[in-house]
Amino acid sequence: MQSIQWFPGHMHRTRRQLAELLPKADAVIEVLDARLPQASRNPLLHQLRGPKPCVVVLNKSDLADPEVTQAWVTHWKAHDLEVLPLVATDAKVSRRVLQAARALVPPRNFRLRPLVLLIAGIPNVGKSTLLNSLAGRKVSLAADKAAITRAPKRIHLDEETTLYDTPGVLWPKLEDQHDALLLAASGAIRETALDLWTVAVGAAALLHQYYPERLRARYGIAGDGPPEEFLWNVGKRRGCLRAGGVVDAEKAAQVLLGDLRSGKLGRISLQKPPA
């Protein structure tokens, strides 16, 4: 398979910002994609966070396979991590993040000294959406454009809670091409930086492994052959054709990736915890 690469964004600036902000925070809210929890963990945050209390949010859990999400919760709880499956678009449920974070911090009068939280996560994982839900107003633009970099923001959520929002960036190099595939398939990597056909072929192979019946149900194609052939047939069926009736590979890739990202293939998890 062709290697998946992207333009990483401002890593040095992010490292500096995180290193500056972490000491000011009582706890970290690490937002992961419930469909690919391990692949969406930023190793930089992991390195810099140290023993600072952390709530691991498995966001977009409405798009993930509930059984697999539960398996991740069990897995990380066994490693003493506070894990919370979440749907950030649901404002009521989102407040649970604040309760979970507060429970990790030694009690004090938060009106006198507000709880300070830092929120971090890769692009497109739902940080802005979560912030908007927590604040009850629009505090930053929620847009489906990965790798938009922003300066950190300080937001007063209420009289007891302040939150630092850090820009979502991807790390510069992914040795693990499988993780790269999961990130690309989920939409975390800006599409202009990607070869969509390569990503869609990889996604088709994974979907055949985990959820073959969903592919059959949606596209009416058995897909027992190579994933390239499957994708080609999806393109044909969906009328993704160029002049002369040749399948437009990029459009066919967009059909599969669009269906996967929007939940049209049902609730899907692309990564399971280690056995």
Residues in touch with ligand G4P (CB under 6 A): 59-60, 62-63, 87-89, 121, 123-129, 142-144, 168
Min. distance of Cβ 104 from ligand G4P in angstroms?
A: 22
Place of tokens 């290697």: 3
Whose Cβ is closer to ligand G4P: residue 27's or residue 189's?
189
Least distance in angstroms from the C-beta of 92 to ligand G4P: 13
Residue type, 121: G
Backbone angles phi, psi at 166, to 5 degrees: -105, 150
Task: In angstroms, give the least distance from the CB of 145 to ligand G4P.
Answer: 8
Structure tokens at 163: 């939150």
Cβ atoms of 131 and 139 within 8 Å: the answer is yes
Tell me how far, at minimum, the Cβ of 122 lies from ligand G4P, in Å: 7
Closest CB to ligand G4P among residues 55, 201: 55
Collapsing DSSP to helix, strand or coil, 53 comes out as: coil
Name the strand (E) or helix (H) holding 249.
helix 249-262
Q: How far apart are CA 139 and CA 195, in angstroms?
A: 33
Q: Which residue is nearest to ligand G4P (CB)?
A: 144
Token digits of residue 200: 């869609």
Is residue 236 a contact partner of residue 172, using CB atoms and an 8 Å limit?
no
CB of 187 to ligand G4P, least distance (A): 8
Query: Which residue's CB is nearer to ligand G4P, number 87 or number 135?
Result: 87
Tell me how far CA of residue 103 lies from CA of 27, 106, 188, 218, in angstroms.
10, 8, 30, 44
Instruction: Output 69 or 128, the one with its CB closest to ligand G4P.
Output: 128
What are the angstrom distances between the C-alpha of 271 and each of 45, 54, 74, 147, 182?
A: 20, 22, 15, 22, 8
**How far apart are CB 211 and ligand G4P at their closest, in Å?**
18
Q: To the nearest whole angstrom, how small is the minimum distance from the Cβ of residue 155 to ligand G4P?
A: 13
Nearest distance from C-beta of residue 168 to ligand G4P, angstroms: 5
| Alpha carbon 263 to its chain's center | 14
No. of helices (H) and no. of strands (E), the chain? 10, 6
Nearer to ligand G4P, 94 or 161 (CB): 94
Q: Which 3 state secondary structure label does DSSP give 231?
A: helix
Helix 227-237 with 249-262: angle, nearest 10 deg: 90
Cβ nearer to ligand G4P, comparing 126 with 202:
126
Of the pair 123, 223, the CB lying nearest ligand G4P is at 123
For ligand G4P, give the closer residue by CB, 17 or 124. 124
